[in-house]
């Protein structure tokens, strides 16, 4: 069977280029719907976990890389999806979770992290050593230091890959980190930012060229010439971003010089982070302009949360004023444990907690009380007759009652949530495969 990454590169030489969208989420229903879509369309997808989500210590999900990989395998078996089409990857793999440790200790933990990802079957590795570690001076480490640390991580990955023998497939690598740190933009103040609508500055062609050069040199000095040939993309800032209440759209004219740089390098393309909430036209333009990987995460869990709140409002309509169980549970859970949102929202604001595009709610769905309310909601609505008008009123992903009449009856509320997630996934698949396939 051909290798999807080779196909990806070859497609860029012809008239029908395609890209891969990368699902960056550990939400069970997001992952389930992702695999169902692969089974339905037969098109590949990347599923990536970050160093914060999944690591040798369990991360905030409680999963090690092998656990995450096996979760994907189980879903592929459950929905009869081709396992080779679901590509496991690691995002922001580096010392970030251990950044307060001394640099040598932090890097040793990061090397073990990368080894565990490769051993578990990760094919795509984003090497991210861009943050200061204990003992470093300055605001950010020097580019040469970042590159040397990335090469050190790559060497650990290559060593682990060689241990796999014939059953292993060579990893491909992504370098560069001109994006927010894992988790999103920190320290947002939507009220203040509402007046500051200037989009992020795109990476300059000079900065990109320098970053590539220092990494190539570091890889060469570390004896990683073969691995350098598998550096498939660089993470750059194309001038798009989203924050709590703002979306900065991709405008290709702003990234014109950047695009010229990548066309001079036939086997090195771009990876776009934070493409959440971009329009269909913007996603299509990114694919055309050489962004072979489009990351999406919060927009998928936003769709999940949106659907659950919509179902909760439907329940209220059917029960004449019953409490809004999901809204109450979200607010109570987030206010009781502010760890995952206090550095991202300016204050305890109900609108931010419930509706922010940053979707910090995504860190709380495994809370037992909140999880229980979701299951109670599904149980309450299961088997109920939900009219097309009622669904259309509260579930915007269905785009009007004309699209709800075809739903299989009786309507399963869980299915409605899955379809809401799928509506967002389908936008990325359409953009990445403009000709309907590969």
Domain span including residue 369: 302-424
Q: What is the pLDDT of residue 438?
A: 82
The domain boundary, picked from 246, 268, 296, lies at: 296
Q: Is the pLDDT of residue 187 over 60?
A: no
Is residue 432 one of the residues assigned to a domain?
Answer: no
**Do 161 and 309 fall into the same domain?**
no
Indicate the residue among 296, 316, 341 that finishes a domain: 296
**24 & 164 share domain:** yes
Same domain, 388 and 312: yes
Higher local confidence (pLDDT), 138 or 54? 54
Q: Which of 376, 401, 261, 390 is nearest to 323 (CA)?
A: 376
User: Do the domain assignments include residue 411?
Assistant: yes
The CATH code of the domain that includes 372 is 1.10.400.20
pLDDT tens digits, residue range 121-150? Answer: 999 999 999 999 998 988 889 999 999 999
Peptide bond into 324 cis (omega under 30): no
Mean pLDDT computed over 335-361 = 93
The structural domain count of the chain equals 2
Query: What pLDDT, on a 0 to 100 scale, did the predictor assign at position 190?
Result: 45
> Closest by alpha carbon to 25, among 297, 294, 358, 293?
297
Identify whether 244 is part of a domain: yes
Q: Model confidence at 177, in pLDDT bands (50, 70, 90)?
A: confident
Last residue of a domain, one of 281, 296, 311: 296
Question: Which residues in 256-303 belong to E strands, given as ranges?
Answer: 269-272, 291-296
Residues 69 and 213 in one domain: yes
Strands (E), 222-262: 231-235, 241-242, 247-248
Q: Which of 129, 130, 105, 125 is nearest to 115 (CA)?
A: 125
Beta bridge partners, 49, equal 90
The mean pLDDT value for 4-21 works out to: 93
| pLDDT for res 189 | 47
Say yes or no: 185 and 203 in one domain.
Answer: yes
Instruction: Based on the fold, state whether residues 232 and 120 are members of the same structural domain.
Output: yes
Residues 331 and 272 in one domain: no
Q: Is residue 130 situated within a structural domain?
A: yes
292 lies in the same domain as 360: no
The pLDDT of 2-30, averaged and rounded, is 93
- Please indicate, yes or no, if residue 430 is contained in any of the structural domains: no
Q: Is the pLDDT of residue 180 over 60?
A: no
User: Mean of the pLDDT values across residues 173-193?
Assistant: 60
Contacts with 431 (C-beta within 8 Å, 6 or more apart), sequence order: 19, 21, 280, 283, 284, 286, 287, 294
Residue 31 lies in a domain: yes
- Indicate which CATH number applies to the domain containing 139: 3.20.20.70
Average pLDDT over residues 334-343: 94
pLDDT at position 230 over 70: yes
Quote the DSSP letter at residue 54.
B
Q: Model pTM?
A: 0.93
> Residue range 200-215: average pLDDT?
91
Residue 260 sits in the same domain as residue 320 = no
Same domain (yes/no): 291, 321: no
Average pLDDT score over the chain: 91
What are 290-317's pLDDT values in tens digits? 999 999 999 999 999 999 999 999 999 9
Q: 182 and 214 share a domain? A: yes
Considering the domain boundaries, does residue 437 fall inside one? no
Give the model confidence (pLDDT) of 386-419 as tens digits: 989 999 999 999 888 888 877 777 889 999 999 9
Size of the chain, expressed as the number of residues it contains: 438
Whether residue 245 is found in the same domain as residue 185: yes
**251 lies in a domain?**
yes
């Amino acid at each position: 069977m051909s290798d999807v990454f080779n196909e990806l590169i070859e497609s860029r030489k012809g008239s029908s280029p395609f890209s891969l969208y990368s699902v960056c989420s550990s939400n069970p229903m997001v992952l389930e719907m992702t695999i169902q879509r692969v089974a339905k369309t037969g098109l590949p997808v990347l599923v990536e976990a970050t160093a914060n989500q999944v690591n040798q210590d369990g991360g905030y999900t409680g999963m090690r890389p092998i656990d995450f990989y096996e979760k994907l395998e189980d879903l592929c078996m459950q929905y009869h999806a081709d396992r080779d089409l679901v590509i496991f990857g690691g995002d922001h793999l580096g010392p970030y979770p251990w950044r307060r440790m001394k640099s040598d200790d932090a890097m040793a933990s990061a090397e073990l992290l990368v080894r565990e990802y490769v051993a578990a079957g990760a094919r795509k590795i984003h090497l991210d050593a861009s943050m200061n570690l204990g003992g470093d001076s300055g605001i950010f480490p020097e580019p040469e230091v970042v590159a040397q640390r990335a090469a050190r991580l790559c060497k650990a990955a290559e060593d682990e890959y060689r241990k796999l023998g014939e059953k292993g497939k060579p990893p491909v690598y992504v370098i560069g980190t001109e994006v927010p740190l894992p988790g999103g933009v920190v320290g947002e103040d939507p009220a203040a930012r509402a007046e500051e609508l200037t989009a992020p500055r795109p990476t300059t062609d000079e900065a990109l060229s320098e970053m590539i050069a220092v990494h190539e040199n570091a890889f060469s000095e570390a004896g990683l010439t073969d691995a350098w040939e598998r550096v498939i993309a660089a993470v750059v800032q194309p001038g798009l971003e989203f924050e709590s209440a703002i979306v900065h759209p991709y405008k290709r004219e702003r990234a014109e010089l950047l695009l010229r740089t990548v066309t001079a390098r036939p086997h090195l393309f771009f990876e776009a982070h934070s493409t959440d909430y971009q329009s269909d036209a913007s996603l299509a333009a990114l694919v055309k302009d050489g962004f072979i990987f489009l990351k999406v995460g919060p927009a998928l869990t936003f769709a999940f949360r949106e659907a659950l709140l919509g179902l909760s409002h439907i329940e209220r309509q059917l029960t004449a004023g019953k409490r809004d169980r999901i809204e109450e549970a979200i607010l109570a859970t987030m206010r009781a444990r502010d760890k995952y949102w206090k550095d991202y929202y300016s204050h305890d604001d109900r609108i931010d907690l419930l509706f922010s595009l940053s979707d910090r709610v995504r860190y709380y769905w495994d809370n037992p009380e909140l999880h229980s309310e979701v299951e109670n909601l599904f149980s309450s609505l299961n088997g109920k007759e939900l009219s097309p008008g009622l669904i259309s009123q509260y579930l915007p992903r269905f785009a009007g009652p004309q699209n709800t009449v075809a739903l299989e009856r009786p309507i399963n509320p869980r299915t409605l949530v899955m379809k809401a997630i799928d509506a967002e996934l389908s936008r990325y698949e359409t953009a990445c495969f403009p000709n309907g396939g590969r």
